[in-house]
Chain A
Amino acid sequence: MVALWWAVVASGVYHGVNPGMGWPLTVSAALMEGRRSALAAALAMLALGHFLAMSAILLPFSAMIALVEWQREIRIAAGGLVMAIGAYLLINRRHPRFLARVKPSRLALWSFLAAMAHGAGFMLLPIYLGLCGVQEADIGHRAAADLMADSVDTALTVAAIHTAAMSVSGGVLATVVYAWLGLRFLSKAWFNIDVLWALSLVLVGGIGVWAAL
């Protein structure tokens, strides 16, 4: 249980330090406006978009938690889906062009779409279902409505903790680059983690399936 919550935090840190999830935009915002507070404002917009993207993936599954007798099947199917998305991203390495149409001023929208396009929410899904599964074992006799309310709470908490971890890691990195390291760090420390990202999805999905079996 605790390990799963740490996994939620770890995935948030992972997303936060990935430049592809947007922290360089917060540095740019602070520099363009000539004040450090713009960094925090931009970060808040990115966080909002990311939180919504996480919730958009987790909430539909929280509705299904009520189907207690189908727990196992749902977790296996969800794990398989996450693996399939990872496999798809491994094969299709192209970046979605519609992201380039989003205006730089609409950071929350961009962050939402970027997270959706990269399956960021799906990376959380098996962890989330794992957390719900633990609950279900403890309180198996409770009413479906109760279970659903619980799982919605859990989904929002998972999304919030994940997004908080992402904002802190991305925010720390952005602040360090803004205040000390300078933008040279951006091109030096940006690694192409497309493959790693896709493999992470496959791995997390695989663990989800394995844990459910």
Chain B
Amino acid sequence: MNLRPDPTFHATPKLAMAAPVETLAFTLMLSPDGAQPDGLAVVDVDPKSKSYGQIVHSLFMPNTGDEFHHFGWNACSSALSPLTGHAFLERRYLIIPGIRSSRIYVIDVKEPLKAKIHKIIEPEEVFEKTGYSRPHTIHCGPEGIYVSTLGGGGKDGTDGPPGIFIMDCETFEILGRYEMDRGIQDKHYDFWWNLPRDYMVSSEWGLPPQFENGIVAEDLLSNKYGHKIHFWDLRGRRNIQTIDLGENHQMALEIRPAHDPAKQHGFCGVVVDTTNLQGAIFTWWRNDDGSFEAKKTITIDPQPASADDLPELLKGFGAVPPLVTDIDLSLDDKFLYVACWGTGEMHQYDVSDPMKPNLAGKVEIGGIVNKTKHPNGKEFGYGPQMVEISRDGKRVYWTNSLYSTWDDQFYPGDRGGAMVMANAAPAGGLDLDKAFWVEFPKGYRSHQIRLEGGDCSTDSFCYPNT
């Protein structure tokens, strides 16, 4: 407990943008075959430092086979709401779930270069207290730390639907399930909310048998992955509306609401449209009567390719799909970054008008067919995947791995983890930084990035911009 609110808590997104810039990033490292323990890399992102772009500290876990994916902070700017009574928490711990093992690590990064394990929650405890498995997205909210899961109970995670559970934000005890009425929600992936307006939005990937051993082509072609987004009464814990994006819109993944809580819209990325291999972004919004709507506002076309250049899975299609696997929205709600993991592109859209996004910038790097090299001459291995934006919106970081078994299907062979950074121009435009390239230890892939002091996909704000 602090005597003052943590200096990294900000009342509004605008105040967060004006805060000191990040000097460190935390990046997850995963061992795709489980041969080595997964780990947390602390990366120097201070251009004035001698070790700029290098891993300055690594912490490896005591177990193997966790499969690190997403992670989050124990506390964020949401603590500044008097409603919750958590104003004096410290932003100090990273909550890192293993999506394969269902084990959860709480890492103390108060001294980032001496990051250490604070607590381990064993899978059995997660199963017993929640009936869920495969924990995934982390957000700090009204009742504590909310954790989305991808699996239900049982060995293969199909015994009951997956959902969200809540952890105590001080003791990290698992408190139990979030949902009181889930409606028709039966799959899960991401979630986020608007705290003062008291609604939550969640999305769907697929059930564990549909992803753990690789993408199941038959399921995809028969549209069996998730294609709905769910809207919730956040504090009432009830599903109030479900919107089906259309069954051809397979895998509705990241949910990115506008950061300014006065705005009532957000975005959701769809990996692939099975009718034409396009990637898509939906804009969703809340009407004044409290009902929600969603509309497709961005489509990204596949690129024709010869079967010889394509992996087994895609040979029959004669094209490489963009595969929109991650999206991220800048804190000023102006630019939406869209990772096209298949084609090897990072798109930057001006979403000042959320219903009419404009492609403002683009970087090509990696890709199944194009294999575009980094300006420093190095091979990027895979495609742009987990993307994170600096609070001031000037630097955009991303890594290249999607998920161990899916990497192997779309990009066969081991191609090495990488993390790069691009500079974003204030009026639009994106350029890779030649000097920034993070090498990961041999045998490791890189996944989600968290920036020191918060970034564009962690903090929830309780007060509108002025």
A residues contacting B by CB (< 8 A) are 19-22, 24-25, 27-28, 31-32, 34, 93-97, 99-105, 110, 114, 182-184, 186-188, 190-192, 194
A-B CB contact pairs (8 Å), 8 listed: A20-B85, A32-B196, A102-B235, A104-B195, A110-B83, A183-B463, A190-B5, A192-B2
Which residues of A have CB within 8 Å of B11?
Answer: 24, 183-184, 186-187
Q: How far is the CB of A64 from chain B (nearest CB, A)?
A: 32
Which residues of B have CB within 8 Å of A190?
Answer: 4-5, 80, 87
Which residues of B have CB within 8 Å of A194?
Answer: 1, 88
Q: How far is the CB of B431 from chain A (nearest CB, A)?
A: 32
Which residues of B have CB within 8 Å of A32?
Answer: 196-197, 261-262, 464
Which residues of A have CB within 8 Å of B15?
Answer: 183-184, 187
Q: How far is the CB of B211 from chain A (nearest CB, A)?
A: 33
Which residues of A have CB within 8 Å of B463?
Answer: 24, 27-28, 31, 183, 186
Tell whether, in the assembled complex, residue B196 and residue A104 are in contact, meaning their CB atoms are under 8 Å apart.
Answer: yes
Tell whether, in the assembled complex, residue A187 and residue B10 are in contact, meaning their CB atoms are under 8 Å apart.
Answer: yes
Tell whether, in the assembled complex, residue A187 and residue B83 are in contact, meaning their CB atoms are under 8 Å apart.
Answer: no
Tell whether, in the assembled complex, residue A19 and residue B235 are in contact, meaning their CB atoms are under 8 Å apart.
Answer: no
- A182's partner among B81, B462, B466 (CB-CB below 8 A) is B466
Which residues of A have CB within 8 Å of B195?
Answer: 104
Which residues of A have CB within 8 Å of B196?
Answer: 28, 32, 104
Whole-angstrom CA separation of A184 from B10 in the bound complex: 8
Tell whether, in the assembled complex, residue B87 and residue A31 are in contact, meaning their CB atoms are under 8 Å apart.
Answer: no
Knowing A101-B143, A183-B15, A187-B5 touch, does A96 contact B261 (C-beta < 8 A)? no
Whole-angstrom CA separation of A32 from B197 in the bound complex: 9
Knowing A100-B142, A103-B198, A191-B3 touch, does A31 contact B464 (C-beta < 8 A)? yes
Not counting A24-B81, A31-B466, A101-B235, a sample of 15 additional A-B residue pairs whose C-beta atoms are within 8 angstroms of each other reads: A21-B82, A24-B11, A24-B80, A31-B463, A99-B84, A100-B83, A104-B83, A104-B195, A104-B198, A104-B235, A182-B466, A186-B11, A187-B15, A187-B80, A190-B4
**Total A-B pairs, Cβ < 8 A:** 99
Tell whether, in the assembled complex, residue A94 and residue B3 are in contact, meaning their CB atoms are under 8 Å apart.
Answer: no
Tell whether, in the assembled complex, residue B236 and residue A95 are in contact, meaning their CB atoms are under 8 Å apart.
Answer: no
Tell whether, in the assembled complex, residue A19 and residue B82 are in contact, meaning their CB atoms are under 8 Å apart.
Answer: yes
Tell whether, in the assembled complex, residue A25 and residue B12 are in contact, meaning their CB atoms are under 8 Å apart.
Answer: no
Chain B 273-305 residues near chain A, CB threshold 8 A: none
Q: Which residue of B lies closest to A31 (CB)?
A: B464
Whole-angstrom CA separation of A183 from B463 in the bound complex: 8
Which residues of B have CB within 8 Å of A104?
Answer: 83, 195-198, 235
Interface residues on chain B, size class:
35 or more
Tell whether, in the assembled complex, residue A102 and residue B3 are in contact, meaning their CB atoms are under 8 Å apart.
Answer: no
Whole-angstrom CA separation of A114 from B84 in the bound complex: 10
Which residues of A have CB within 8 Å of B414?
Answer: none
Tell whether, in the assembled complex, residue A31 and residue B262 are in contact, meaning their CB atoms are under 8 Å apart.
Answer: yes
Q: How far is the CB of A173 from chain B (nearest CB, A)?
A: 13
Q: Which residue of A lies closest to B85 (CB)?
A: A95
Whole-angstrom CA separation of A133 from B236 in the bound complex: 46
Tell whether, in the assembled complex, residue A192 and residue B466 are in contact, meaning their CB atoms are under 8 Å apart.
Answer: no
Chain B 1-26 residues near chain A, CB threshold 8 A: 1-5, 7, 9-12, 15
- Is B445 in contact with chain A by the CB < 8 A criterion? no
| Most chain B beta carbons < 10 A, residue from A22, A24, A34, A182 | A24
- Is B244 in contact with chain A by the CB < 8 A criterion? no
- Is B381 in contact with chain A by the CB < 8 A criterion? no
Q: How far is the CB of A165 from chain B (nearest CB, A)?
A: 19
Q: How far is the CB of B288 from chain A (nearest CB, A)?
A: 12
- A99's partner among B9, B83, B144 (CB-CB below 8 A) is B83
Tell whether, in the assembled complex, residue A102 and residue B83 are in contact, meaning their CB atoms are under 8 Å apart.
Answer: yes
| Most chain A beta carbons < 10 A, residue from B2, B7, B466 | B466
Tell whether, in the assembled complex, residue B4 and residue A100 are in contact, meaning their CB atoms are under 8 Å apart.
Answer: no
Which residues of A have CB within 8 Å of B187?
Answer: none
Whole-angstrom CA separation of A31 from B13 in the bound complex: 14
Which residues of A have CB within 8 Å of B464?
Answer: 28, 31-32
Which residues of A have CB within 8 Å of B82?
Answer: 19-22, 24-25, 114
Tell whether, in the assembled complex, residue B4 and residue A192 are in contact, meaning their CB atoms are under 8 Å apart.
Answer: yes
Which residues of A have CB within 8 Å of B227?
Answer: none
Whole-angstrom CA separation of A105 from B15 in the bound complex: 25
Which residues of B have CB within 8 Å of A94?
Answer: 170
Q: How far is the CB of B360 from chain A (nearest CB, A)?
A: 28
Q: Which residue of A lies closest to B14 (CB)?
A: A183
Which residues of B have CB within 8 Å of A96?
Answer: 85
Which residues of B have CB within 8 Å of A105?
Answer: 198
Q: How far is the CB of B14 from chain A (nearest CB, A)?
A: 9
- Is B230 in contact with chain A by the CB < 8 A criterion? no
Tell whether, in the assembled complex, residue B87 and residue A103 are in contact, meaning their CB atoms are under 8 Å apart.
Answer: no
Chain B 431-466 residues near chain A, CB threshold 8 A: 462-464, 466
Whole-angstrom CA separation of A95 from B234 in the bound complex: 20
Whole-angstrom CA separation of A27 from B12 in the bound complex: 12
Tell whether, in the assembled complex, residue A100 and residue B143 are in contact, meaning their CB atoms are under 8 Å apart.
Answer: yes
Which residues of B have CB within 8 Å of A34?
Answer: 262
Which residues of A have CB within 8 Å of B139?
Answer: none
Q: How far is the CB of B459 from chain A (nearest CB, A)?
A: 13
Knowing A183-B466, A184-B11 touch, does A20 contact B87 (C-beta < 8 A)? yes
Q: How far is the CB of B83 from chain A (nearest CB, A)?
A: 6
Q: Which residue of A lies closest to B168 (CB)?
A: A97
Q: How far is the CB of A76 from chain B (nearest CB, A)?
A: 32
Tell whether, in the assembled complex, residue A95 and residue B4 are in contact, meaning their CB atoms are under 8 Å apart.
Answer: no
Q: How far is the CB of B463 from chain A (nearest CB, A)?
A: 5
Whole-angstrom CA separation of A194 from B89 in the bound complex: 13
Knowing A27-B463, A100-B143 touch, does A187 contact B9 (C-beta < 8 A)? yes
- B87's partner among A19, A22, A97, A182 (CB-CB below 8 A) is A19
Q: How far is the CB of B145 from chain A (nearest CB, A)?
A: 12
Whole-angstrom CA separation of A104 from B170 in the bound complex: 23
